[in-house]
Amino acid sequence: MQDDILRLAYEVSRVTEEKVDRFDRVMKQTGMLAINARLEAARAGEAGRAFSVVAQELGVLATSISHIGGELRQAISANIASLSNAGTQMLVDFKGTRHTDLARSAVEIIDRNLYERSCDVRWWATDSAIVDVLQKPSRESVQHARERLATILRSYTVYLDLWVADREGRVIATGRPDRYPLAHNLDVSQEAWFRHALTTANGDEFRVCDITTNPTLGNAQVATYSTAVRAEGRTRGNAIGALGIFFDWEPQAAAVLDGIGLTPAERRGSKLMLLDASHRVIAGGDRGAFGSHYPLRLDGRTSGYYQHDGALVAFAETPGYETYRGLGWLGCIETRTDESV
């Protein structure tokens, strides 16, 4: 509808200019005829005196009408400009609000997905096979834990791998040892996910790290969730190790962004992104944009839109979901205004 208003304003402006121009040309011709008529009347002498008066009045009338045409042009131009500006702002507001809602929808879908990941890690940390391999490490318990982790991975295809690390930070069991052999016996004692897991106060808590690439997992982009594995699998048991689960971030995030409800024309002129709390691109944007900083202006807001450097930028911060408070991530849509407005 907003596009139709703008098109109508531009068409009215075009038609008005065209008609007033034609009007001016006719009045100029009329003025010239009036001048010629006065000249001919002068040659006719006394006989043309009455006609001279008519010709003079016709010239005055043509001049008056030309002035009116000029005033009409100015008045219509001013109103058309106001209408055009109003229509343009209406279109900006409409698209800005709509894109803000779409950005919020994207980050909400991500958070609902990641909330499930927080449930997974806490649940699997109580699995008897995972608890046993840490309490009673042996060849048999390691093999059983591997089999159990592999079973989970066959059902939960959104994960790259699951790792069980002992209290010292040595990975003793993984779900895909054939695909990721470097994970076996890997020292993760200095990695954030492991250290943060051991800081959990009980089995109801978990930790999540911002999106990173993991060299052991083929430099894949991962969202890593972790929690402590506790003695006997009890909620308040002593921490005997840690479970880390590695969410296959890139294809899942891409699927969410692909599902955002932009028209094909809008999508061609837009960048769809997910940003972390420091406004680092963690999904979408230009090719190779992952990890780069996006110059987002919040101006104290958690959602909204603004125009900058020929672009309309809409954003919305995660509201969290259930017990998952989120990490301050944002959905963001940048659209070129010269293509969309």
Rounded to an integer, the average pLDDT of 186-197 is: 97
Contact 282, 211 (CB under 8 A): yes
DSSP states of 174-210: ES-TTT-GGGTT-B-TTSHHHHHHTT-SSTT--EE--
Model pLDDT for residues 156-191, shown as the tens digit of each residue: 999 999 999 999 999 999 999 999 999 999 999 999
Contact 232, 147 (CB under 8 A): no
Q: What 3-state class would DSSP assign to 44?
A: helix
Taking the C-alpha atoms of residue 141 and residue 152, their distance in angstroms, rounded to an integer, is 17
With a CB cutoff of 8 Å and minimum separation 6, the contacts of 222 are: 160, 211, 212, 213, 214, 246, 247, 248, 249
What pLDDT does residue 268 have? 87
- Which has more confidence, 340 or 152? 152
Model pLDDT for residues 4-56, shown as the tens digit of each residue: 655 666 676 677 777 677 766 766 666 666 666 666 666 666 665 666 666 56
Model pLDDT for residues 58-93, shown as the tens digit of each residue: 666 667 766 776 776 676 666 666 666 766 777 788
Instruction: State yes or no: pLDDT of 340 exceeds 50.
Output: no
Model pLDDT for residues 108-149, shown as the tens digit of each residue: 998 888 889 999 999 999 999 999 999 999 999 999 999 999
**Which amino acid is present at 285?**
G
Contact 194, 228 (CB under 8 A): no
DSSP, res 275: E
Rounded to an integer, the average pLDDT of 300-306 is: 95
The backbone torsions φ and ψ at residue 210, rounded to the nearest 5 degrees and listed phi first, read -60, 160
Taking the C-alpha atoms of residue 109 and residue 112, their distance in angstroms, rounded to an integer, is 5
Instruction: State yes or no: pLDDT of 307 exceeds 90.
Output: yes
What pLDDT does residue 341 have? 43
**Residue 240: in which H helix or E strand, if any?**
strand 239-248
Instruction: State yes or no: pLDDT of 339 exceeds 60.
Output: no
- Which has more confidence, 336 or 142? 142
Q: How many CB atoms lie within 10 A of CB 245?
A: 29
